[in-house]
Chains A and B, each alone.
Chain A
C-alpha cells in the first residue's frame, strides 16, 4: 500500500473539531449531571482520541496490519478493565 496522504483541509477540520470538543467538554463539566458527568467526559475523550488517531496519526488510512495492531491493543485494554471490574464491582464491601 502506498503512503497515505491526507489533505490539509481534513487536518484543519479535525483540528477545529478537536478544539470545539475541548470547549464543549469543559462547559459540560460545569453542569451537574451526577454520575453522568464522567460518562460524558470520557465519551468526548474517546471521540477526540479517535479524531487524533484517525486523522493526525493516519490510522484510518493505514494498512490492515496497523489496524489489527491498534484493535488488539484496545481489545486487551478492555479485557483488563472488564475482568478487573467484574471483581471490584461485585464485592460486598
Chain B
C-alpha cells in the first residue's frame, strides 16, 4: 500500500508511529471510521439495555399512576436540575477535550480530562447524598421500606426503578471516571497526538451517552413530581 512508502506525518511522536495507522487498515480514515462504528454499535446495545428499563418503568407507571406521582413528589427537583446542569457541563468539557485532542493540544487535553473527572465526581456526590436521604426516609425498597400510602407496593416499585435505573447510571459514571483517569495517564505519557487520539474521541462518545441517559432519567423521575396526577 501507499502508506508504507509515504513518510510518517511530522507530528507523530518518535517511537509511536505505529499508533497512527495500524497495518490491517488501508488508510487512517478507515481506521477512524472503524473505531467510531464499533463505539456506536456498543452505544446501540446500551440503548437496548436502558431502553428495556424505561419500557418497564412506563408499564408500571401506567399500572400505579398515583403511587408513581407520589414517588416523584419525594424527589428533590432542585438537586436534580443542578445535577443535570453539572452533567451537561461535564459533557461540554469532555467535548472540548476531544477537540483539544484533535488539535494535538495535549496540555489542554490533560487539564480538560481532569476537569471532567472532577465535575463527574461532583455529580456522584450529589447523587449519593440523595440516596442517603432516601435511605434515611425509609424509602429504600426492602424490609426497611415504610409508607402509609394505600398503594404501598406501587410506591415501592417506583423506588425499585429509581434505584436500579439511577444506580445503573451511576455505575456507568464510575466506570467513565475510571476510563477518563486512564486517558489522563495516557496523555501524561504522551500517547496522543494530532494524528492518533481515537481513544479520547471514543470515550467522549461514551461520556455523552451517559449524559443523555441522565437527561431522560431526570425527565421521568424528578419532573413529574410537583403535581398529583395519574
In the complex, the chain B residue whose C-beta lies closest to that of A59 is B40
Q: What chain A residues lie within 8 Å of B37 (beta carbons)? A: 63, 65-66, 69
The answer to whether the Cβ of B174 comes within 8 Å of any Cβ in the partner chain is no
B32 touching A18 by the CB < 8 A rule?
Answer: no
Give the A-B pair count, Cβ closer than 8 A: 139
Q: How many residues of B contact A (CB 8 A)?
A: 50
B229 touching A37 by the CB < 8 A rule?
Answer: yes
The answer to whether the Cβ of B44 comes within 8 Å of any Cβ in the partner chain is yes
The answer to whether the Cβ of B85 comes within 8 Å of any Cβ in the partner chain is yes
Chain A: interface secondary structure? helix
The answer to whether the Cβ of B91 comes within 8 Å of any Cβ in the partner chain is yes
A binding-site residues for B, Cβ under 8 Å = 1-3, 5-6, 8, 11, 14-15, 18-19, 22-23, 25-26, 29-30, 32, 34-35, 37-38, 41-42, 44-45, 48-49, 52-53, 55-58, 62-63, 65-66, 69-70, 72-74, 76-77, 80-81, 84-85, 88-89
The 3 closest A-B pairs by CB, nearest first: A73-B44, A56-B95, A45-B219
B binding-site residues for A, Cβ under 8 Å = 29, 32-33, 36-37, 40-41, 43-44, 47-48, 51-52, 55, 58-59, 62, 77, 81, 84-85, 88-89, 91-92, 94-96, 99, 102, 201, 204-205, 208-209, 211-212, 215-216, 218-220, 222-227, 229-230
